[in-house]
Amino acid sequence: MNQTNTKSIYSLTLEEMRQSLADAKLPKYAADQVYQWIYKQNKYLPESWSNVSKKVKNHLLTNFTWDLPKRVWEGVSTDGTRKFLIGLVDGQTIETVAIFSKERVTLCISSQVGCAIGCTFCYTGTLGLTRHLASEEIVGQYLMVNQRLRELDLLREDQNPNIVYMGQGEPLHNFDNVSQATKVIMEPKGIGLGQRKITLSTSGLVPQIEKLSDFPPVNIAISLHAARDNLRTELMPINKAYDLKRLFEAIKTIPLKGHRSITYEYILISEYNDGEEDVAGLLGLLDKKKSKINLIPFNEHPSSKFKKPTPEKVDWFRKQFLDRGYVCTVRVTKGDDIYAACGQLKNEVEQNNKPQLTL
Protein backbone atom coordinates (compact mmCIF):
# COMPACT_ATOMS: atom_id res chain seq x y z
CA MET A 1 0.00 0.00 0.00
CA ASN A 2 1.48 3.33 -1.06
CA GLN A 3 0.62 5.47 1.95
CA THR A 4 1.63 9.12 1.91
CA ASN A 5 -0.54 10.33 4.78
CA THR A 6 -0.55 9.39 8.45
CA LYS A 7 -4.31 9.80 8.94
CA SER A 8 -5.94 6.45 9.57
CA ILE A 9 -8.95 5.14 7.69
CA TYR A 10 -10.38 4.01 11.06
CA SER A 11 -10.50 7.59 12.33
CA LEU A 12 -13.14 8.64 9.79
CA THR A 13 -16.84 8.88 10.43
CA LEU A 14 -19.01 7.96 7.48
CA GLU A 15 -19.68 11.61 6.70
CA GLU A 16 -15.95 12.41 6.78
CA MET A 17 -15.24 9.58 4.37
CA ARG A 18 -17.97 10.83 2.05
CA GLN A 19 -16.43 14.30 2.14
CA SER A 20 -12.97 12.92 1.40
CA LEU A 21 -14.31 11.20 -1.70
CA ALA A 22 -16.25 14.29 -2.79
CA ASP A 23 -13.13 16.46 -2.42
CA ALA A 24 -11.35 14.03 -4.76
CA LYS A 25 -14.22 14.27 -7.28
CA LEU A 26 -15.24 10.69 -6.51
CA PRO A 27 -18.79 9.46 -5.78
CA LYS A 28 -19.79 10.03 -2.15
CA TYR A 29 -21.99 6.93 -2.11
CA ALA A 30 -18.87 4.76 -2.36
CA ALA A 31 -18.14 5.66 1.28
CA ASP A 32 -21.23 3.73 2.33
CA GLN A 33 -19.96 0.68 0.44
CA VAL A 34 -16.48 0.99 1.98
CA TYR A 35 -17.92 1.36 5.48
CA GLN A 36 -19.92 -1.83 5.03
CA TRP A 37 -16.90 -3.78 3.74
CA ILE A 38 -14.75 -2.71 6.68
CA TYR A 39 -17.20 -2.68 9.55
CA LYS A 40 -19.93 -5.14 8.55
CA GLN A 41 -18.04 -7.63 6.38
CA ASN A 42 -14.78 -7.34 8.38
CA LYS A 43 -12.76 -7.06 5.17
CA TYR A 44 -9.73 -4.83 5.70
CA LEU A 45 -8.07 -5.41 2.30
CA PRO A 46 -9.59 -3.25 -0.47
CA GLU A 47 -8.59 -5.86 -3.06
CA SER A 48 -11.50 -7.97 -1.82
CA TRP A 49 -14.13 -5.26 -2.26
CA SER A 50 -16.03 -6.37 -5.33
CA ASN A 51 -18.33 -3.35 -5.80
CA VAL A 52 -15.87 -0.49 -5.16
CA SER A 53 -14.11 1.20 -8.09
CA LYS A 54 -10.36 1.12 -8.55
CA LYS A 55 -10.23 4.92 -8.33
CA VAL A 56 -11.92 4.94 -4.94
CA LYS A 57 -9.63 2.19 -3.66
CA ASN A 58 -6.53 4.00 -4.90
CA HIS A 59 -7.64 7.26 -3.28
CA LEU A 60 -8.17 5.60 0.09
CA LEU A 61 -4.99 3.53 -0.10
CA THR A 62 -2.89 6.57 -1.03
CA ASN A 63 -4.29 9.02 1.48
CA PHE A 64 -4.88 6.90 4.59
CA THR A 65 -3.08 4.32 6.70
CA TRP A 66 -4.73 0.95 7.22
CA ASP A 67 -2.77 -0.85 9.91
CA LEU A 68 -4.57 -2.21 12.93
CA PRO A 69 -2.85 -2.41 16.34
CA LYS A 70 -0.84 -5.60 16.90
CA ARG A 71 -1.49 -8.42 19.34
CA VAL A 72 1.69 -8.67 21.43
CA TRP A 73 0.50 -11.13 24.06
CA GLU A 74 -2.68 -12.91 25.01
CA GLY A 75 -3.60 -14.48 28.32
CA VAL A 76 -6.54 -16.77 29.05
CA SER A 77 -8.13 -16.93 32.49
CA THR A 78 -9.51 -20.10 34.01
CA ASP A 79 -12.98 -18.54 33.61
CA GLY A 80 -12.46 -17.87 29.88
CA THR A 81 -11.71 -14.15 30.13
CA ARG A 82 -9.02 -13.08 27.65
CA LYS A 83 -6.57 -10.24 28.20
CA PHE A 84 -4.70 -8.77 25.25
CA LEU A 85 -1.51 -6.74 25.39
CA ILE A 86 -1.77 -4.58 22.28
CA GLY A 87 1.15 -2.86 20.56
CA LEU A 88 0.74 0.59 19.01
CA VAL A 89 2.74 2.12 16.16
CA ASP A 90 5.02 4.11 18.48
CA GLY A 91 5.94 1.06 20.56
CA GLN A 92 3.57 1.87 23.44
CA THR A 93 1.21 -0.82 24.71
CA ILE A 94 -2.29 -0.97 26.14
CA GLU A 95 -4.47 -3.76 27.49
CA THR A 96 -7.93 -4.82 26.37
CA VAL A 97 -10.07 -7.49 28.01
CA ALA A 98 -12.72 -9.74 26.45
CA ILE A 99 -15.33 -10.91 28.95
CA PHE A 100 -17.77 -13.71 28.13
CA SER A 101 -21.19 -14.47 29.56
CA LYS A 102 -24.18 -16.49 28.33
CA GLU A 103 -25.89 -13.32 27.10
CA ARG A 104 -23.05 -11.36 25.52
CA VAL A 105 -19.41 -10.71 24.83
CA THR A 106 -18.06 -7.46 26.29
CA LEU A 107 -14.80 -5.72 25.50
CA CYS A 108 -13.22 -3.59 28.20
CA ILE A 109 -11.57 -0.89 26.09
CA SER A 110 -8.64 1.37 26.99
CA SER A 111 -8.69 5.08 26.18
CA GLN A 112 -5.16 6.10 27.21
CA VAL A 113 -1.68 4.69 27.61
CA GLY A 114 -1.63 4.72 31.40
CA CYS A 115 -3.80 7.08 33.43
CA ALA A 116 -3.33 10.46 35.10
CA ILE A 117 -6.03 10.08 37.76
CA GLY A 118 -3.94 8.01 40.18
CA CYS A 119 -6.68 6.18 42.09
CA THR A 120 -4.94 4.44 44.98
CA PHE A 121 -6.88 1.18 44.59
CA CYS A 122 -6.07 0.83 40.88
CA TYR A 123 -3.04 -0.98 39.43
CA THR A 124 -3.24 1.13 36.25
CA GLY A 125 -2.98 4.24 38.41
CA THR A 126 0.61 3.34 39.27
CA LEU A 127 1.61 3.84 35.61
CA GLY A 128 0.93 7.55 35.30
CA LEU A 129 -0.17 8.93 31.94
CA THR A 130 2.00 8.49 28.84
CA ARG A 131 -0.46 9.77 26.22
CA HIS A 132 -4.02 9.75 24.92
CA LEU A 133 -5.08 7.15 22.38
CA ALA A 134 -6.04 8.46 18.96
CA SER A 135 -9.56 7.66 17.83
CA GLU A 136 -8.25 5.10 15.33
CA GLU A 137 -6.36 3.30 18.10
CA ILE A 138 -9.58 2.99 20.09
CA VAL A 139 -11.50 1.72 17.06
CA GLY A 140 -8.49 -0.39 16.06
CA GLN A 141 -8.24 -2.27 19.36
CA TYR A 142 -11.95 -3.12 19.05
CA LEU A 143 -11.51 -4.40 15.48
CA MET A 144 -8.29 -6.28 16.23
CA VAL A 145 -9.70 -8.12 19.24
CA ASN A 146 -12.91 -8.92 17.34
CA GLN A 147 -10.82 -10.32 14.49
CA ARG A 148 -8.92 -12.54 16.94
CA LEU A 149 -12.11 -13.76 18.65
CA ARG A 150 -13.57 -14.70 15.26
CA GLU A 151 -10.42 -16.65 14.44
CA LEU A 152 -10.99 -18.62 17.65
CA ASP A 153 -14.73 -19.12 16.92
CA LEU A 154 -15.55 -17.16 20.06
CA LEU A 155 -17.46 -14.53 18.07
CA ARG A 156 -19.78 -14.93 15.10
CA GLU A 157 -19.06 -12.98 11.92
CA ASP A 158 -22.28 -10.99 12.41
CA GLN A 159 -21.74 -10.42 16.13
CA ASN A 160 -20.25 -7.30 17.70
CA PRO A 161 -19.32 -7.20 21.39
CA ASN A 162 -20.61 -4.63 23.82
CA ILE A 163 -18.13 -1.97 24.92
CA VAL A 164 -17.27 -0.69 28.37
CA TYR A 165 -14.77 2.17 28.46
CA MET A 166 -13.35 0.81 31.70
CA GLY A 167 -9.88 -0.23 30.58
CA GLN A 168 -6.77 1.84 31.06
CA GLY A 169 -7.25 5.58 31.27
CA GLU A 170 -9.98 8.09 32.05
CA PRO A 171 -12.21 8.27 28.94
CA LEU A 172 -13.39 11.83 29.55
CA HIS A 173 -9.78 13.01 29.88
CA ASN A 174 -9.52 11.99 26.21
CA PHE A 175 -12.96 13.39 25.39
CA ASP A 176 -12.60 14.23 21.68
CA ASN A 177 -10.89 11.00 20.60
CA VAL A 178 -13.22 8.75 22.60
CA SER A 179 -16.20 10.66 21.22
CA GLN A 180 -14.93 10.29 17.64
CA ALA A 181 -14.27 6.57 18.06
CA THR A 182 -17.73 6.07 19.54
CA LYS A 183 -19.32 7.79 16.55
CA VAL A 184 -17.48 5.43 14.20
CA ILE A 185 -18.50 2.36 16.21
CA MET A 186 -22.16 3.46 16.45
CA GLU A 187 -22.56 4.28 12.72
CA PRO A 188 -25.58 2.21 11.54
CA LYS A 189 -24.02 1.56 8.11
CA GLY A 190 -20.91 0.24 9.82
CA ILE A 191 -20.64 -1.64 13.11
CA GLY A 192 -23.92 -0.12 14.25
CA LEU A 193 -23.43 -0.78 17.96
CA GLY A 194 -26.44 0.60 19.83
CA GLN A 195 -26.18 3.19 22.57
CA ARG A 196 -27.39 0.75 25.22
CA LYS A 197 -24.45 -1.53 24.38
CA ILE A 198 -21.78 1.07 25.15
CA THR A 199 -20.92 2.23 28.66
CA LEU A 200 -18.58 5.10 29.45
CA SER A 201 -17.14 5.13 32.95
CA THR A 202 -15.65 8.27 34.48
CA SER A 203 -13.86 9.00 37.73
CA GLY A 204 -15.65 12.34 37.91
CA LEU A 205 -14.05 14.95 35.62
CA VAL A 206 -16.66 17.62 36.22
CA PRO A 207 -15.95 19.94 33.24
CA GLN A 208 -16.18 16.99 30.83
CA ILE A 209 -19.29 15.58 32.51
CA GLU A 210 -20.89 18.95 31.87
CA LYS A 211 -20.06 18.48 28.15
CA LEU A 212 -21.74 15.08 27.83
CA SER A 213 -24.56 16.59 25.80
CA ASP A 214 -21.91 16.82 23.02
CA PHE A 215 -20.97 13.14 23.38
CA PRO A 216 -22.81 10.35 21.54
CA PRO A 217 -25.66 9.04 23.73
CA VAL A 218 -24.35 6.02 25.68
CA ASN A 219 -24.71 4.52 29.15
CA ILE A 220 -22.90 6.53 31.83
CA ALA A 221 -21.20 5.03 34.87
CA ILE A 222 -19.71 7.11 37.67
CA SER A 223 -16.82 5.66 39.67
CA LEU A 224 -17.97 6.77 43.10
CA HIS A 225 -16.35 4.35 45.60
CA ALA A 226 -17.00 6.52 48.67
CA ALA A 227 -19.82 8.67 50.00
CA ARG A 228 -17.64 10.90 52.17
CA ASP A 229 -15.19 13.45 50.78
CA ASN A 230 -12.29 12.56 53.05
CA LEU A 231 -12.53 8.88 52.16
CA ARG A 232 -13.06 9.51 48.44
CA THR A 233 -10.06 11.84 48.32
CA GLU A 234 -7.90 9.07 49.82
CA LEU A 235 -9.07 6.68 47.11
CA MET A 236 -9.36 9.13 44.21
CA PRO A 237 -7.16 12.25 44.24
CA ILE A 238 -9.47 13.82 41.66
CA ASN A 239 -11.90 14.43 44.52
CA LYS A 240 -9.62 17.24 45.74
CA ALA A 241 -10.51 19.24 42.63
CA TYR A 242 -14.06 17.99 42.14
CA ASP A 243 -15.60 17.00 45.46
CA LEU A 244 -18.89 15.17 45.88
CA LYS A 245 -20.96 18.36 45.89
CA ARG A 246 -19.50 19.54 42.57
CA LEU A 247 -19.68 16.04 41.12
CA PHE A 248 -23.38 15.60 41.84
CA GLU A 249 -24.18 19.08 40.57
CA ALA A 250 -22.51 18.09 37.29
CA ILE A 251 -24.33 14.75 37.19
CA LYS A 252 -27.64 16.65 37.15
CA THR A 253 -26.64 18.09 33.77
CA ILE A 254 -26.25 14.66 32.11
CA PRO A 255 -29.00 14.20 29.51
CA LEU A 256 -31.02 11.10 30.40
CA LYS A 257 -33.67 9.95 27.95
CA GLY A 258 -36.81 8.09 28.96
CA HIS A 259 -36.33 5.82 31.91
CA ARG A 260 -32.55 5.75 31.68
CA SER A 261 -30.48 5.87 34.84
CA ILE A 262 -26.85 6.38 35.88
CA THR A 263 -24.79 3.51 37.23
CA TYR A 264 -22.68 4.25 40.28
CA GLU A 265 -19.69 1.95 40.62
CA TYR A 266 -18.65 1.29 44.17
CA ILE A 267 -15.55 -0.76 44.99
CA LEU A 268 -16.06 -2.51 48.31
CA ILE A 269 -12.85 -2.60 50.35
CA SER A 270 -12.76 -4.64 53.52
CA GLU A 271 -12.99 -2.56 56.72
CA TYR A 272 -12.64 0.65 54.73
CA ASN A 273 -15.83 1.71 52.93
CA ASP A 274 -18.19 -1.16 53.68
CA GLY A 275 -19.84 -0.09 56.94
CA GLU A 276 -23.15 1.36 58.10
CA GLU A 277 -21.85 4.93 57.81
CA ASP A 278 -21.02 4.27 54.15
CA VAL A 279 -24.50 2.88 53.49
CA ALA A 280 -26.07 5.96 55.06
CA GLY A 281 -23.86 8.25 52.98
CA LEU A 282 -24.83 6.56 49.71
CA LEU A 283 -28.52 6.65 50.60
CA GLY A 284 -28.18 10.39 51.11
CA LEU A 285 -26.49 10.92 47.74
CA LEU A 286 -28.30 8.67 45.28
CA ASP A 287 -31.70 9.25 43.71
CA LYS A 288 -33.52 5.92 43.86
CA LYS A 289 -35.35 6.48 40.56
CA LYS A 290 -32.29 7.50 38.54
CA SER A 291 -29.55 5.38 40.09
CA LYS A 292 -28.20 1.86 39.76
CA ILE A 293 -25.53 0.73 42.20
CA ASN A 294 -22.89 -1.71 40.95
CA LEU A 295 -20.83 -3.14 43.80
CA ILE A 296 -17.33 -4.30 42.88
CA PRO A 297 -15.55 -6.43 45.48
CA PHE A 298 -11.98 -5.14 45.51
CA ASN A 299 -9.60 -7.07 43.26
CA GLU A 300 -6.29 -7.43 45.06
CA HIS A 301 -2.99 -6.72 43.29
CA PRO A 302 0.66 -6.53 44.36
CA SER A 303 0.93 -2.76 44.84
CA SER A 304 -2.10 -2.34 47.11
CA LYS A 305 -2.60 -2.62 50.86
CA PHE A 306 -6.39 -2.97 50.45
CA LYS A 307 -8.19 -6.28 50.96
CA LYS A 308 -11.23 -7.91 49.43
CA PRO A 309 -14.36 -8.07 51.62
CA THR A 310 -15.88 -11.42 52.53
CA PRO A 311 -18.84 -12.67 50.44
CA GLU A 312 -21.00 -12.29 53.55
CA LYS A 313 -20.08 -8.62 53.86
CA VAL A 314 -20.81 -8.02 50.17
CA ASP A 315 -24.24 -9.65 50.58
CA TRP A 316 -24.97 -7.56 53.66
CA PHE A 317 -23.99 -4.32 51.94
CA ARG A 318 -26.12 -5.09 48.89
CA LYS A 319 -29.13 -6.03 51.03
CA GLN A 320 -29.16 -2.57 52.62
CA PHE A 321 -30.04 -1.08 49.23
CA LEU A 322 -32.31 -3.83 47.95
CA ASP A 323 -34.42 -3.56 51.10
CA ARG A 324 -34.90 0.15 50.36
CA GLY A 325 -35.95 -0.36 46.76
CA TYR A 326 -32.69 0.49 44.97
CA VAL A 327 -31.37 -1.44 41.99
CA CYS A 328 -28.11 -2.90 43.30
CA THR A 329 -25.96 -5.52 41.63
CA VAL A 330 -22.62 -7.16 42.38
CA ARG A 331 -20.09 -7.37 39.56
CA VAL A 332 -18.87 -10.91 39.08
CA THR A 333 -15.08 -10.95 39.26
CA LYS A 334 -13.57 -12.38 36.09
CA GLY A 335 -9.98 -12.74 34.95
CA ASP A 336 -8.32 -11.90 38.26
CA ASP A 337 -5.91 -14.83 37.91
CA ILE A 338 -4.31 -13.04 34.93
CA TYR A 339 -4.76 -9.52 36.35
CA ALA A 340 -7.59 -8.78 33.93
CA ALA A 341 -10.24 -7.80 36.48
CA CYS A 342 -11.37 -4.28 37.33
CA GLY A 343 -8.43 -2.13 38.48
CA GLN A 344 -5.75 -4.70 37.58
CA LEU A 345 -4.57 -3.64 34.10
CA LYS A 346 -0.90 -2.61 33.91
CA ASN A 347 0.63 -3.29 30.47
CA GLU A 348 2.76 -6.20 31.48
CA VAL A 349 2.88 -9.95 31.02
CA GLU A 350 2.29 -11.29 34.51
CA GLN A 351 4.54 -14.20 35.37
CA ASN A 352 2.46 -15.34 38.31
CA ASN A 353 -0.05 -18.07 37.41
CA LYS A 354 1.59 -18.38 33.96
CA PRO A 355 -1.55 -17.85 31.84
CA GLN A 356 -1.76 -19.50 28.45
CA LEU A 357 0.18 -17.63 25.79
CA THR A 358 -1.01 -17.58 22.20
CA LEU A 359 1.41 -15.58 20.10
Percentage of the chain beyond pLDDT 70 is: 89
Q: What is the pLDDT of residue 334?
A: 55
- 221 lies in the same domain as 314: yes
Asked if the structure places residue 323 within a domain, the reply is: yes
- 42 lies in the same domain as 133: no
- 13 lies in the same domain as 122: no
- 167 lies in the same domain as 236: yes
Domain that holds residue 13: 9-63
Asked if the structure places residue 3 within a domain, the reply is: no
Q: What is the pLDDT of residue 4?
A: 44
What are the C-alpha distances in Å from 223 to residues 102, 165, 236, 237, 238? Answer: 26, 12, 9, 13, 11
- 197 lies in the same domain as 148: yes
Query: Is the pLDDT reported for residue 355 higher than 50?
Result: no
DSSP string, 250-271: HHTTS---TT--EEEEEEE-TT
> Catalytic: 342?
yes
Q: What is the pLDDT of residue 335?
A: 43
Mean pLDDT (the chain) is 89
Region 329-357: mean pLDDT is 50
- 109 lies in the same domain as 200: yes
Distance of CA 223 to the CA centre of its chain: 13
Model-level pTM greater than 0.85? yes
DSSP string, 11-65: G--HHHHHHHHHHTT--TTHHHHHHIIIIIS----GGG-TTS-HHHHHHHHHHSB
- 234 lies in the same domain as 297: yes
Q: Which residue has the higher pLDDT, 304 or 261?
A: 261
- 248 lies in the same domain as 280: yes
Edge-to-edge strand ranges of the sheet holding 93-100: 70-76, 82-87, 93-100, 105-108, 162-165, 198-202, 219-223, 262-268, 291-297, 327-330
- Which of 115, 187, 342, 350 is flagged as catalytic? 342
Predicted confidence band of residue 303 (pLDDT cuts 50, 70, 90): low
Query: Is the pLDDT reported for residue 285 higher than 80?
Result: yes
Give dist(CA 164, CA 104) in Å, integer: 12
Q: What is the pLDDT of residue 352?
A: 38
Region 129-150: mean pLDDT is 97
Asked if the structure places residue 55 within a domain, the reply is: yes
- Which of 74, 95, 136, 350 is flagged as catalytic? 95
Q: How many domains does the chain have?
A: 2
**Cβ contact 61:346 at 8 Å:** no
CB-facing half-sphere around the CA of 284: CA atoms within 13 A: 11
Asked if the structure places residue 272 within a domain, the reply is: yes
241-281 pLDDT, tens digit per residue, is 999 999 999 999 998 876 689 999 999 999 999 999 999 99
Asked if the structure places residue 356 within a domain, the reply is: no
Asked if the structure places residue 317 within a domain, the reply is: yes
CATH code: domain of residue 185 = 3.20.20.70
CB atoms within 10 A of CB 226: 22
66-80 pLDDT, tens digit per residue, is 999 999 999 998 889
Q: What is the pLDDT of residue 125?
A: 66
Q: Hey, what amino acid is at 288?
A: K
Asked if the structure places residue 194 within a domain, the reply is: yes
- Comparing CA positions, the residue from 172, 229, 234, 174 lying closest to residue 203 is 172
CATH code: domain of residue 36 = 1.10.150
Give dist(CA 345, CA 337) in Å, integer: 12
- 91 lies in the same domain as 55: no
Give dist(CA 249, CA 253) in Å, integer: 7
Predicted confidence band of residue 3 (pLDDT cuts 50, 70, 90): very low
- 120 lies in the same domain as 177: yes
Residue 214 gets which letter from DSSP?
G
Asked if the structure places residue 227 within a domain, the reply is: yes
- 57 lies in the same domain as 83: no
The contacts of residue 199 (CB under 8 Å, 6+ apart) are 162, 163, 164, 165, 166, 218, 219, 220, 221, 263
Query: Is the pLDDT reported for residue 336 higher than 80?
Result: no
- 288 lies in the same domain as 305: yes
Q: What is the pLDDT of residue 302?
A: 66
